A = this chain, B = another copy of it.
Amino acid sequence: MKASSHPARLAGSLALIFVATGAAASIPPPPTAAELALQGDDVAWSIAEGLTTEIGPRQAGTEAEAAARRWAVARLGQLGFANVREEPFDMPTWVRGEEQAWLTGPFHPQPLAIAALGNSASTGRGGIEGPVAYFASYDDLVAAPDHYVRGRIVFIDHQMKAAQDGSGYGYYGRARFSGPNAAAKKGAIAVVIRSIGTDSHRTPHTGVTSFEPGVTPIPAGAVSNPDADQLVRQWKRTLQMRTNETPLGYTPEPLRLKLVLTPQLLGPRASGNVIAEVPGSDPAASPVIVACHLDSWDLGTGAIDDATGCGIITAAARYVMSARQPRRTIRILWAGAEEVGVHGGKAYFDKYGAQRHAVAMESDFGADKVWRVDFKLPDSAKTVADRIAAALAPLGITRGRNPASGGADVGALVQAGTAAVDLQQDGTRYFDLHHTADDTLDKVDPAQLRQNVVAWTATLDILANSSASELGE
């Protein structure tokens, strides 16, 4: 965070902004929610720290996620929220097994750091070995003739580039989302991708992949960026061999990989959402929903994905509640089973999608500073957006031109027409850590986390107190 946007330095300017909306009187007005957030008692940090320390990894459908729900209910109750509850649902559960990979030839055999992708098939304990079919990108794989792929282990080598808005995830991420399905359809025996990540550590990035109905899943894993670099160096040498520039003492042979991945599909297992509320003063007013997800991938402790998100939205709701009862109910959704298919978001929508929600927000992109705010609001809410933009400007947050989309767990609501506000976090280093063993608490910057909480509190305070004419009932 730049010095100019440090929360402490903004106390004065924000106080001015909020006081200007109050009555001019000799008795000082009570502190606003944003002022309380600036004086902060580190609720967001304590949630992120507690959840990652006392539970750790909490993969959807496992006992760890159930323990996290019990923890969440206890913590949200302790914080003074109303209507705290678990809302269970079942979802198909996949769990990691043994995972090993080796470059087996033509050079001296050596191990690679690999993580199976969610929904990967098993190789069996004995593993599989085969020649590599190299593709520079997902598009190259799609364009390749089947006979080049059949019987081989596909490798997709598309290196993700970092971007502040995280916009590379959709483009580069196709190698993970769709690469295994495309490879399976062409007859590959397995697929290995370069991790969808921007770091250079031997911590591969997992994440879910999907096979179309009728396509038999194949083993699918991601190797870390340094391991992908190594594979590519060996691949280039095997090409040199074919042109007779043979490295020392090796005979020309195709590059070969061996994989042992033994994940299992356990079938349906129990997951659930945890919900808590700040009851609004106007029973006729539609609620504001703020979301994060409680589950994490299994390799790390899910600090930035998404314990901090739960900390941020919960701290903000509590500061709004502490300042004064808001007009609208604030509904806090700690969604279950987001990582493996947004099952919690779907369960919420199935149950509550017919109800009107005034606006939806989600925090699920780490804990680095908010730098931009995007809106998707009805025309009637123009002054709401202006007030939010004015409140956020002193925090170094500018107004964007993109329509807000709300995030995965409220995505169905927003697609069905619910208004949304996105507080865009800086994602420059997010994909260094995303879905790796390195997603741990030491990566969270407490100063930037506090900036998030202040921004969320100011925004939520305005939204939860917006009028019927602005955001409807």
The reply to whether the CB of A443 lies closer than 8 angstroms to some CB of chain B is yes
Q: How many copies does the complex hold?
A: 2
Which of B50, B201, B229, B443 meets A441, CB within 8 Å? B229
Residues of B contacting A111 in the complex (Cβ-Cβ under 8 angstroms): 56-57
B108–A443 touching, CB < 8 Å: no
Residues of B contacting A405 in the complex (Cβ-Cβ under 8 angstroms): none
Give chain A interface residues in 318-377, CB to chain B under 8 Å: none
CA distance A22 to B300 in the complex (A): 62
Which of B54, B103, B200, B443 meets A443, CB within 8 Å? B200
A54–B438 touching, CB < 8 Å: no
Residues of B contacting A78 in the complex (Cβ-Cβ under 8 angstroms): 248
Q: Identify the closest chain B residue to A75 (Cβ).
A: B248
Min CB gap A382→B, angstroms: 43
Min CB gap A247→B, angstroms: 6
Residues of B contacting A103 in the complex (Cβ-Cβ under 8 angstroms): 56
The reply to whether the CB of A293 lies closer than 8 angstroms to some CB of chain B is no
Min CB gap A105→B, angstroms: 11
Given contacts A108-B67, A442-B226, contact A202 B437 (CB under 8 A): yes
Residues of B contacting A200 in the complex (Cβ-Cβ under 8 angstroms): 442-443
Q: Identify the closest chain B residue to A443 (Cβ).
A: B200
The reply to whether the CB of A144 lies closer than 8 angstroms to some CB of chain B is no
CA distance A44 to B219 in the complex (A): 39
The reply to whether the CB of A162 lies closer than 8 angstroms to some CB of chain B is no
A442–B107 touching, CB < 8 Å: no
The reply to whether the CB of A10 lies closer than 8 angstroms to some CB of chain B is no
The reply to whether the CB of A13 lies closer than 8 angstroms to some CB of chain B is no
B438–A53 touching, CB < 8 Å: no
B107–A54 touching, CB < 8 Å: yes
Given contacts A203-B202, A440-B226, contact A301 B54 (CB under 8 A): no
A70–B202 touching, CB < 8 Å: no
The reply to whether the CB of A110 lies closer than 8 angstroms to some CB of chain B is yes
Q: Identify the closest chain B residue to A63 (Cβ).
A: B108
Which of B49, B203, B248 meets A50, CB within 8 Å? B248
Min CB gap A284→B, angstroms: 36
B234–A70 touching, CB < 8 Å: no
What are 11 A-to-B residue pairs whose CB atoms are below 8 Å? A50-B248, A52-B230, A53-B233, A54-B108, A55-B108, A56-B230, A57-B110, A70-B249, A71-B248, A226-B441, A229-B440
Taking A55-B107, A78-B248 as known contacts, 7 extra A-B pairs with beta carbons closer than 8 A to each other, sorted by chain A number, are A52-B230, A53-B107, A57-B111, A74-B248, A202-B300, A226-B438, A230-B441
